[in-house]
Structure 1
Amino acid sequence: MQDTRSGILLAVAGFATLSIGDAVLKSMAGLWPVTAVAALRFSIGAIALSAMLAYNEGAAGFRPARPWLQVARGVCLAGASLSFFSAIFVMPLAETMAITFLSPVLTALLSGPLLGEKVRQAVWIACLFALVGVALILRPNLAELGWPAVLPLVSAVFFSLMIIANRASTGSGSALAMQAYMALIAAPILILASVGGEVAQIDGLRLSWPSVDVIFRCAFVALTASTAHWLVYLGTTSAGASQIAPASYIQMLVATLLGWWFFGDVPDAITMAGAAIIIGAGLYLWRDGAQKG
């Protein structure tokens, strides 16, 4: 019982820390191109994780099993992160976070064709309700922003594919190695995206030398993200994945409070209803899976 309680508290702390990093990301909107922010954040993470991996496991730690699967994980992480960062730059934090909570439902849905798992009836029910919630949240943003408003949905799809790739790569390395592999693949992709924005001379993606403040913020986001993932990992090992899964929704509460406090973003009633439906769909899916397990 004590381990379960401690594990849940660790997971809650980890998920809350992720939202703090997201708020810092949003504070950089307009200060530096989103592609460059993503590239710097993951470059810092890749360097730090590589150093830790080299210290703990030596050269052997950089020889992953099933390397192409590790590439797929890194590509999905790059796509999910760039989409999410871009969404945070143009949308309220709470609304972006709410739509990305579609990922657990998408993961359960896509695990059928991609992993050969049986898709339960509860998955289809949860997917239907979650999509209704997404539609409610996108309602004002599509009218105001156009297609960029679907970026959180793109991020959720990439994140779901990454989770599925994570499942498929179970046993391919230590927890530290698995994080390092993803960062080492994602960082070069994001650097290329950053350079591509400059070469194509796309407005808003033109490169410039970052201020010291931006560099420190990117480093802070990299540090908090790694710390958060480690806290969630510790929580999972103490309490079990099924116990800590609902703790992820603390991100929505923290994101809403930070968005209101620092950016003046107050979700309207319909947006909150959409978020509640998405979270409810995820909890329903978790509860059904726990009962089946």
Structure 2
Amino acid sequence: MTDTPAKAATGRNDVSFGLGLMVVAVLISPLIDIFAKLAITTIPSAEITAVRFVLQVIFILPIVIVRGTLFDLSWKKTGLHMLRGGLLVVTMLTFITTLKAMEVADAIAIFFVEPIILTILGSIFLKETIGWRRYTACAVGFLGALLVIQPSLQEVGWIALLPVVSAFGLAVFLLVTRLVAQNEDPWSMQFHAGIWGALFCGILLYIGDGTGSEIFDPVMPDAIAGLYLLGVGVAATVAGVLGVYAYRAAPASVLAPLQYLEIVSATVFGWLVFGHLPDALKWLGIAIIIASGLYIIWRERRINKTASIAPVSPAI
């Protein structure tokens, strides 16, 4: 039975609405990293990460209460939910630490190897069929990342590799999410990931208290730093909520390519706030990463699979 014109129009309107929400979400997302970079001059990255998770819990709590899904998680999968929270801590902590030394656009560009890592891990652990074309695209994408990493290594040292660690952490997080998301409410999963993330960060800050570590030793933020921390939480929440509703309205295969707009907005915000623009070599690497990621998404879409999604600055 074919769709009536009214149903077809409604479907198109939903997709258009989802596309609009996704565009706004990816344009807002780099603000998370801009505020984090401003905050990290005086606040340790573990504390910024902890505040991010606490605000996530506060903002999502009313939603899960109204939806009646506060406790809608399988207790048999508690270990996997804990793992998801831990992986988010690794992802956010390493990426925010990177921002103390690297510019936002450079760090995000390197982080965009996440869909490539996810494609490879999916073929290894989930036995997903990956052809030679996508493996080639993965290799080319890593080459593009090296073009961004290599000069960054000379500029800031080993910290330039942290976005790769962050991307790997998010890729594993998404793999675990695939395993537990079949019968779980997404809002409840978001809420509990925030609880576990805040708990793990609290443990790290307790251990790091008094050590003098720039990553783990907590400090009392002043008023300006407090506003930056609030900006991290608000931007992450708004971008995350918009993303959730975008994926409800439109297929992932349609929305996934839009994630690369984030590099554009990150570059614009980085230029406006910090006066930084990537050089020619980094632009070449960024272009290669984008082209590789879009090709992987196109191939997945062509063989009727769900495209991989990589939120650049984990607004999860």
TM-score by length of 1: 0.94
Q: Helix, strand or coil for the counterpart of 2:72?
A: helix
Q: Does 1:101 align with 2:112?
A: yes
Q: Does 1:159 align with 2:170?
A: yes
Contact 2:51 2:233 (C-alpha < 8 Å) held by counterparts:
no
Kindly state the Cα deviation for residue 275 of structure 1 after the two structures are TM-superposed.
Answer: 0.6
Kindly state the Cα deviation for residue 215 of structure 1 after the two structures are TM-superposed.
Answer: 2.4
Kindly state the Cα deviation for residue 216 of structure 1 after the two structures are TM-superposed.
Answer: 2.8
Extract unaligned runs of 5+ from structure 2.
1-11, 305-316
Which letter maps to 1:219?
L
Contact 1:94 1:255 (C-alpha < 8 Å) held by counterparts:
yes
1:168 aligns to what? Answer: 179
Evaluate the alpha carbon distance shift between residue 58 and residue 271 of structure 1 in structure 2; reply closer, same or farther with a 3 A threshold. Answer: closer
Kindly state the Cα deviation for residue 59 of structure 1 after the two structures are TM-superposed.
Answer: 5.5
Q: 1:130 aligns with which of 102, 124, 141?
A: 141
Give structure 1 regions of 4+ aligned residues with deviation exceeding 4 angstroms: 62-65
1:41 aligns to what? Answer: 52
Q: Does 1:282 align with 2:296?
A: no
Aligned length: 293
Evaluate the alpha carbon distance shift between residue 54 and residue 6 of structure 1 in structure 2; reply closer, same or farther with a 3 A threshold. Answer: closer
2:227 aligns to what? Answer: 216
Instruction: Give the stretch that moved more between structures: 23-32 or 101-110.
Output: 23-32
Q: Helix, strand or coil for the counterpart of 2:17?
A: helix
Extract unaligned runs of 5+ from structure 1.
none
2:125 aligns to what? Answer: 114
CA distance in 1, matches of 2:208, 2:288: 37
RMSD, aligned CA: 1.8
Contact 2:18 2:245 (C-alpha < 8 Å) held by counterparts:
yes
Which letter maps to 1:162?
F
Contact 1:35 1:205 (C-alpha < 8 Å) held by counterparts:
yes
Contact 2:103 2:270 (C-alpha < 8 Å) held by counterparts:
yes
Evaluate the alpha carbon distance shift between residue 157 and residue 282 of structure 1 in structure 2; reply closer, same or farther with a 3 A threshold. Answer: same
Contact 2:64 2:188 (C-alpha < 8 Å) held by counterparts:
yes
CA distance in 2, matches of 1:63, 1:86: 33
Kindly state the Cα deviation for residue 259 of structure 1 after the two structures are TM-superposed.
Answer: 0.7
Structure 1 vs Structure 2: percent identity of aligned residues?
25
Contact 1:10 1:231 (C-alpha < 8 Å) held by counterparts:
yes
Q: Helix, strand or coil for the counterpart of 1:90?
A: coil
1:249 aligns to what? Answer: 260
Instruction: Give the stretch that moved more between structures: 267-276 or 1-10.
Output: 1-10
Alignment of 1:200-279 (within 5 A): 200-203=211-214, 205-279=216-290
Evaluate the alpha carbon distance shift between residue 67 and residue 92 of structure 1 in structure 2; reply closer, same or farther with a 3 A threshold. Answer: same
Evaluate the alpha carbon distance shift between residue 133 and residue 59 of structure 1 in structure 2; reply closer, same or farther with a 3 A threshold. Answer: closer
Evaluate the alpha carbon distance shift between residue 52 and residue 233 of structure 1 in structure 2; reply closer, same or farther with a 3 A threshold. Answer: closer
Kindly state the Cα deviation for residue 64 of structure 1 after the two structures are TM-superposed.
Answer: 4.8
Instruction: Give the stretch that moved more between structures: 111-120 or 47-56.
Output: 47-56
Kindly state the Cα deviation for residue 177 of structure 1 after the two structures are TM-superposed.
Answer: 0.4
1:196 aligns to what? Answer: 207
Kindly state the Cα deviation for residue 58 of structure 1 after the two structures are TM-superposed.
Answer: 6.1
Instruction: Give the stretch that moved more between structures: 63-72 or 110-119.
Output: 63-72
Larger helix share, 1 or 2: 1
2:9 aligns to what? Answer: none
Q: Helix, strand or coil for the counterpart of 2:122?
A: helix
CA distance in 2, matches of 1:167, 1:63: 14
